[in-house]
Amino acid sequence: MFIGHYGPALAAPRLVGSVPLWALFVSVQFIDVVWGVLVLAGIEQVRVEPGFTQMSPLDLHHMPYTHSLPGALALSLLAGGLYWLIAARERLAGAALIAAASFSHWLGDLLVHVPDLALWPGGPMAGLGLGTICPPHWRLK
């Protein structure tokens, strides 16, 4: 389920060689890390609905901060800013790469999620649902 998020992290070192792979791996999952913290804090919500989709029983019905378009942009800028603070060289290019890698998470989610990604908090939902299509032998039983 998460492997698609790591593609940009694996491709990115060709762009700015000083950014370590571990930082890119953290950046592409940063939005989900913050989401997990907010779910545990009761701020964002998920429920288990068996059969919700063919691939996952998770109904991600309330994610206005981490998985809305402005929330993902803000978290991506935060990730880039954090990298800028700790980078030893190529700070601006590295921070931009980290921010872009972090935002790639939302773009990947846009492809695979059902429409549960808010274009803005309280706004219309987006998601192409390509992740719900799977061969019959992959389906949850």
The series of mean pLDDT values per 10 residues for the chain, 141 residues long, is 81 87 96 97 95 84 95 98 94 96 96 93 91 61 50
In terms of C-beta density within 10 A (0-12 exposed, 13-18 middle, 19 or more buried), how is residue 5 classed?
A: buried
Residues 104 and 115: their CA atoms lie apart, in Å, by 17
Whole-number pLDDT of residue 46: 95
Rounded to 5 degrees, φ, ψ at 84 are -60, -35
| pTM of the complete model beyond 0.85 | yes
Tokens 């808010």: give the residue. Answer: 118
CB 27 within 8 Å of CB 83: yes
Give the pLDDT of residue 5.
85
